[in-house]
Amino acid sequence: PEVILRNEKRMLQEAVDALFDNGRRSKAIRGRGKRPLKSLSDMLKGKQGRFRQNLLGKRVDYSGRSVIVVGPELKLHQCGLPKVMAVELFKPFIIHELEKRGEAETVKRAKKIVEENDPIVYEVLEDIIKDHPVLLNRAPTLHRLGIQAFEPVLVEGKAIRIHPLVCAAFNADFDGDQMAVHVPLSFEAQLEARVLMLASNNILLPSNGRPVTSPTQDMVIGCYYLTNPGLRITDLERLVGDPKMPKDRRSAADEELDKIYENASRFSTYGEVEMALAQEYLTFESPVWYWADEQHGEKNGYWVRTTAGRVLFNSIIPDELGFLNRTFGKKELGDLVFDCFETTGLIKTTEFLDDLKTFGFGYATMGGISVGISDLEVPHAKAEILKEAEEQVARFQKAYASGFISNGERYNKVIDTWTHANNDVADAMVQHLERSKDGFNPVYMMMTSGARGNRDQMRQLAGMRGLMAKPQKKLTGGIGEIIESPIKANFREGLSVVEYFISTHGARKGLADTALKTADAGYLTRRLVDVAQDVTVAVEDCGTILGLEMTA
């Protein structure tokens, strides 16, 4: 009968469609495990398809991967390679060397020696890796610096150790990240790795020429702690150095500084200051006079008003840069590294970077900076600011109820009021923290030095959390996109149930967005690489006037 035939034809057509491309025409046909069946086109397309997985993908011999941990004792061009891994990676080299030394007559015997973990193997291995760089790579490799060469140093255990300053280039952290190791085999490959890819030759970002290996986190807080002279001197230095200030204010500040330095000790070498610190005659923020040896007009040097910590910090700065008398946060350290590179060149800069690392970690440890809940001081002005804002909002509500303003106007005024209140609380909090503990409040130090956290996070901890947006595809600026009642509490005081509930909106949206955006960005990059792969840069400036200027 016609009906049955038509039905059979339709089912056959659907089956064939599903075989070619399941889920394209109708709902995907599912197998036993409720999973869509894999069609012929599924086998070919996408990252796991035949083309990208099997034909373009490669499995590399002489490679391995392991978890990374920090190696603060390493030099910039070194990485720690686990012994177990190194023996496996350099096996052919070890076998060759064993035969050459006469430790084994045949390859079979040499292999046996390696498998038995004979102590001679490690002696041979030490000699082999002396001038044999390895490549380290962390996925996703988003730019050139995602693969760099290092000289291996044998370490115990099973984790790869990497230098803390190269983490920024790899975007690596030590919460369980893994990295892959590759061994360049031929002499040319080794030479190329050493000359072009060695980590200490790649300290600038290819995108904008700023240093990528500038100190972060602990190193920053160590240097900041050491060079911070305390509140009084900081305030006066700021006044003296501000060209917008009236002249009399500046000279008054200068006299004030002279009073502070009236009975300060005088030193002419770094060693003297170190000894005075060791004898506890000085502390890091003690004011001292220091003789800076450099051409300054006619004279061969001059006395500088500085602190003991700053003198110590200057002991590692290359002489070409002179005596630098200021407080160093993250931005200043980045500029310092860049200046050092411009002035002294690559070799001295890499040495200086290693000194900075050791120095920063050392003094962060000695400073013993730790955060307690009492360091998050809520400003006294907060209650007053909130009261004022609430009164203003009540006035707007009243005006709306009386019909003087429209709902849209009321909404915008309310949002505006709370935004201003939020900023005022934040300003009050920063001013309050700046004055707390003579400028050595640990939370404030972390924020201003750029070691960790920013003003916005600080505001949520000790100011007020402020306004929250409703989760939406796109903010258009319409009514009701921002929830009118702000979160008045901060994390130190603790949120009420309603406030907690409102804030889950934003938090959840943030997490969802992060996961989705990564995939989009990755796919865009892939398409861009595809269109631009045969474009080569031939000259630095082609002289066109139609181009757009882009900076990273």
CB neighbours of 364 closer than 8 A, spacing ≥ 6? 218, 219, 221, 222, 225
- Nearest of 464, 383, 380, 384 to residue 426 by alpha carbon: 464
Name the β-bridge partners of 305: 289
Among the ranges given (79-88, 418-427, 461-470), the one the predictor scored with the smallest mean pLDDT: 461-470
The mean pLDDT value for 55-82 works out to: 88
Domain ranges of the chain: 2-55, 63-90+132-201, 217-229+261-367, 378-502
176 torsion bin: left (phi>0), alpha (psi -120 to 50), beta (else)? left
Eight-state DSSP code of residue 532: H
Per-residue pLDDT, 340: 93
The mean pLDDT value for 216-232 works out to: 90
Beta strands in 7-146 (DSSP E): 63-70, 78-82, 134-137
Q: Residue 552: pLDDT band by 50, 70, 90 thresholds?
A: low
The mean pLDDT value for 306-319 works out to: 90
Among the ranges given (85-94, 245-254, 380-389), the one the predictor scored with the smallest mean pLDDT: 245-254
Per-residue pLDDT, 261: 82
CB neighbours of 303 closer than 8 A, spacing ≥ 6? 266, 289, 290, 291, 292
Do 493 and 426 touch, CB atoms closer than 8 A? no
Q: Residue 133: pLDDT band by 50, 70, 90 thresholds?
A: very high
d(CA 508, CA 182): 39
Q: Which residue has the higher pLDDT, 250 or 341?
A: 341
318 preceded by cis ω (within 30°)? Answer: no
The mean pLDDT value for 476-496 works out to: 83
Helix (H, G, I), strand (E, B) or coil at 80: strand
CB neighbours of 509 closer than 8 A, spacing ≥ 6? 471
Q: Residue 234: pLDDT band by 50, 70, 90 thresholds?
A: confident
Q: Which fold has domain 63-90+132-201?
A: Barwin-like endoglucanases (2.40.40)
The mean pLDDT value for 350-376 works out to: 91
- pLDDT tens per residue, range 259-311: 888 888 888 888 888 898 888 888 888 888 888 876 555 567 788 888 899 99
Alpha helices in 325-453 (DSSP H): 330-344, 346-367, 382-401, 407-435, 442-449
Q: Residue 476: pLDDT band by 50, 70, 90 thresholds?
A: low
- The mean pLDDT of the chain is 88
CB neighbours of 302 closer than 8 A, spacing ≥ 6? 291, 292, 294, 296
Which amino acid does the sequence have at 47? Answer: K
Helix (H, G, I), strand (E, B) or coil at 209: coil
Q: How many CB atoms lie within 10 A of CB 30?
A: 12
Per-residue pLDDT, 178: 94
d(CA 102, CA 451): 55
Per-residue pLDDT, 538: 85
CB neighbours of 415 closer than 8 A, spacing ≥ 6? 467, 482, 484
Q: What is the CA radius of gyration of the chain?
A: 32
Domain at 217-229+261-367, CATH class: mainly alpha
Q: Is 195 exposed, middle or buried (0-12, 13-18, 19+ CB in 10 A)?
A: exposed
The mean pLDDT value for 80-88 works out to: 93
Q: Of all residues in the chain, what percent carry a pLDDT higher than 70?
A: 96
Q: Is 209 exposed, middle or buried (0-12, 13-18, 19+ CB in 10 A)?
A: exposed
- Nearest of 397, 409, 382 to residue 489 by alpha carbon: 382
Q: Per residue in 64-83, is it b (16+ CB within 10 Å) or e — as a string?
A: bbbebebbeebbbbbbbbbb
Q: Residue 92 corresponds to which tokens in the numbers above?
A: 């052919």
Per-residue pLDDT, 362: 92
d(CA 70, CA 137): 15
**CATH number of the 378-502 domain:** 1.10.132.30
Model pTM? 0.83
- pLDDT tens per residue, range 429-456: 999 998 888 888 999 999 999 999 889 9
Q: Residue 71: pLDDT band by 50, 70, 90 thresholds?
A: very high
Per-residue pLDDT, 199: 92
The residue written with tokens 């193997």 in the block is: 121
Helix (H, G, I), strand (E, B) or coil at 364: helix
Question: Mind giving me the DSSP string for 395-408?
Answer: HHHHHHHTTSS-HH
The residue written with tokens 């020429």 in the block is: 209
Q: Residue 70: pLDDT band by 50, 70, 90 thresholds?
A: very high
Name the β-bridge partners of 487: 466
Per-residue pLDDT, 508: 85
Per-residue pLDDT, 182: 94
Among the ranges given (20-29, 193-202, 356-365), the one the predictor scored with the smallest mean pLDDT: 20-29
Do 83 and 154 touch, CB atoms closer than 8 A? yes
Q: Is the pLDDT of residue 475 over 70?
A: no
Per-residue pLDDT, 36: 83
Which amino acid does the sequence have at 126? Answer: E
- pLDDT tens per residue, range 19-49: 888 878 778 878 787 888 888 888 887 777 7
Q: Is 120 exposed, middle or buried (0-12, 13-18, 19+ CB in 10 A)?
A: middle
